[in-house]
Amino acid sequence: MRVGIGYDVHRLVEGRKLILGGVEIPYEKGLLGHSDADVMLHALKDSLLGAAAMGDIGRHFPDTNDQYKGISSISLLDMVKGLLKEEGYIVNNVDVTIIAERPKMAPYVEEMRANIAKTLEVTIDQVNVKATTTEGLGFTGEGLGIAAQAVSTVMKI
């Protein structure tokens, strides 16, 4: 079994949709980025790639490549799953934490888990999603951005 961690941050801006875990969340701001800026899935993909010692998402899906402009992070997660399979890995477990003051994530967590499980072809009990605030401290506490952390385990088949 191999373990990987991932971390990502994106700025909140007006005029963008807020997408986390492949779920569009109603909010007055969205995350700025080259793709759909799903910070949660970006951290998850980095943790999966890290567990397999395959670099990071910037290496595989650079923001200098227009092919990935506006792309769904769920689609990129599916591509990461394909890269893992090519190297003989399957996903064992993923655990993701969203760090945001607002909006509240609880109403969307189960749909996020289902999206991830379906994409990675694992059972929902192999996927954990949780959210926390920073009690008003820092850029997330001030509502300037959202961060995410992820830990994944993969196994060689």
Distance CA 132, CA 62 (A): 29
Distance CA 112, CA 97 (A): 12
Write down the H helix ranges in the chain: 39-51, 57-60, 73-86, 109-120, 138-141
80 is annotated as contributing to ligand binding = no
124 is annotated as contributing to ligand binding = no
Q: What is the dihedral of CA 14, 16, 18, 19, to 10 degrees?
A: -160
Q: What CATH number has the domain spanning 2-156?
A: 3.30.1330.50
The pLDDT mean for the chain works out to 96
Neighbours of 124 (CB within 10 A): 12
Task: Please report which confidence band the pLDDT of residue 139 belongs to, taking 50, 70 and 90 as the band edges.
Answer: very high
**Interaxial angle between packed helices 109-120 and 39-51, expressed in degrees from 0 to 180 and rounded to the nearest 10:** 40
| 112-135 pLDDT per residue, tens | 999 999 999 999 999 999 999 999
Q: Which residue has the higher pLDDT, 142 or 69?
A: 142
115 is annotated as contributing to ligand binding = no
134 is annotated as contributing to ligand binding = yes
| 53-73 pLDDT per residue, tens | 999 999 999 888 888 888 899
- Nearest CA-CA partner of 147 in 136, 157, 135, 132: 132
